[in-house]
A and B are shown apart, each in its own frame.
Chain A
């Protein structure tokens, strides 16, 4: 089973700052990685797929990069609504899906 490890577990930043979230896979997954945002009491929302493609309606301040085993989600300038939990997800060994444990982005 491919394990995804996200870091840091919690990130404390202020609105307007740049956020960098990491996701590391236990083995190469090419670029088959997605990022989701989840706010309390809400369903996850797809942000990025294939490591760097923004999903429909996602603001340009969200960007993804990486391939192989190391991936990054960057939020260029944090808006108040961006404070949430972020999960990475892979499915390179179809049909099994694994998610990372999540990074909580909180207001400093």
Chain B
């Protein structure tokens, strides 16, 4: 069964740090781009970051640049999100997700993935004093 399981969430004070993990199973993890997506309480979905199969490319939403770091360990089949300088507005359920679909750019030789077809159940991060 294809599965993603997040862990590491919890209560942290503003300015603190937290490291989220996502364990993958049931598919060839090293073949996929992976993303983190979050959802604040009662709000919609917000993409946070993604990472290429070999970890050589990483991208972030502007609001977390310089504070969050996405990484992966293909040998351990896991994805991580290191979150520093946390703010109240970072309070959310954090989902890891597998990317799929998109198109291949012949000029750049880059495959651009557009969607997310496998999601974990999420882990809750609360930033509060």
Contacts and interface: CB of A to CB of B under 8 A. Distances in A.
Interface string A57-70: 00000000000000
Interface residues of B, number: 23
A46 B44 contact: no
A46 B112 contact: no
Interface in B89-120: 95, 100-102, 112-117, 119-120
Nearest to A38: B45
Given A49-B101, A91-B114, A43 B47 contact: no
A49 B114 contact: yes
Contacts of B37: 44, 97
Nearest to B35: A97
Interface centre among B61, B113, B116, B122 (most CB of A within 10 A): B116
A43 B122 contact: yes
A90 B112 CA distance: 12
Interface in A29-64: 32, 34, 36, 38, 42-46, 49-50, 55-56
A55 B47 contact: no
B59 A95 contact: yes
B46 A43 contact: no
B80 interface: no
Interface residues on A, range: 20 to 34
A71 interface: no
A80 B94 CA distance: 28
A84 to B, nearest CB: 13
A56 B117 contact: yes
A36 B119 CA distance: 11
A87 interface: yes
B44 A87 contact: yes
18 contacts: A34-B116, A36-B45, A43-B95, A44-B37, A44-B119, A46-B115, A46-B116, A46-B117, A50-B101, A87-B45, A89-B45, A89-B115, A91-B112, A91-B113, A97-B37, A99-B44, A99-B46, A100-B44
Interface of A: 32, 34, 36, 38, 42-46, 49-50, 55-56, 87, 89-92, 94-102
